[in-house]
Amino acid sequence: MQARSRALAADGKRIGIVPTMGFLHEGHISLIKRAKKLSDVVITTIFVNPAQFAPHEDLDKYPRDEKGDIAKIKKVGGDIVFIPNAADMYPANYQTYIDVENLSKSLEGAIRPGHFRGVTTIVAKMFNITRPDIAVFGMKDYQQGMVIRQMVKDLDYPIRIIIAPTVREKDGLAMSSRNKYFTPAQRKEAVCLYASLAVARNMVKVEKVKKVSAIRKEMVDVIKDICPMAEIDYIAFTDYKTLAPVKIIDNTCICSLAVRVHGVRLIDNMRL
């Protein structure tokens, strides 16, 4: 893959990469389409990265569909699919990891210690192997995108990072590979994340509410009303660029949340 990328670059081709963990949905497809507009050759990587899963998380049962993924990538015009295995990416006696210190400590980083260490390490390795000019990530994983953008800046990667809009189902649920875990009844309750974000945005835009505590309380009520069994990991109001927490809403604020719906952990966010 590295030799192929070098040859493409030597031929003057602009390379785009879309890193994924597979089991592709329309959200992933939108990222590939975005990369196609900005580059000559699009490489989609598929790798379920063990370094970003804690021992108690769903690595072993994470959904996989390699043949289906390749077919979807071909259909949308993807050029190359890179599917390494864990032994290739983390050979015996592997010792080197990358840690973005501040941005990775809050939100997902606080709930899932070590998660972003695994993310940044594997993304850096993918960048070294594929040598892209641009890389496209999804807004649903906004903190991840910000962490990677910081890594690229700090380590002087000549790569433009694109964070593309979240693709949603008709009822607003953010598309995710984990949505397949739901029964039809549970799936209806999964909309609680988006519903709470929509209420928050309405409170800010229409009702002119600025106090975070009031908005958070209303969001919790909405979530529990739709899914009484929901377990809320966090509802956070932060600065869009720094991810520093805010108490009063202004035009730089983003609301992010993580909720376990019938045992399935979902994340989402929205600019307020």
The residues annotated as belonging to the active site are: 28
If 0-12 CB within 10 Å is exposed, 13-18 middle and 19+ buried, where does residue 212 land? buried
C-alpha 176/C-alpha 26 separation (Å) is 9
C-alpha 165/C-alpha 23 separation (Å) is 19
Query: What DSSP assignment string belongs to 159-204?
Result: -EEEEEPPPB-TTSPBP-GGGGG--HHHHHHTTHHHHHHHHHHHHH
Q: Can you tell me whether residue 47 is helix, strand or coil?
A: coil
The string over 53-84, giving b where at least 16 C-beta atoms fall within 10 Å of a residue's C-beta and e elsewhere, is: beeeeeeeebeeeeeebbebbeebebbbbbeb
What values do phi and psi take at 43, rounded to 5?
A: -105, 120
Q: Which of 189, 169, 198 is nearest to 259 (CA)?
A: 189
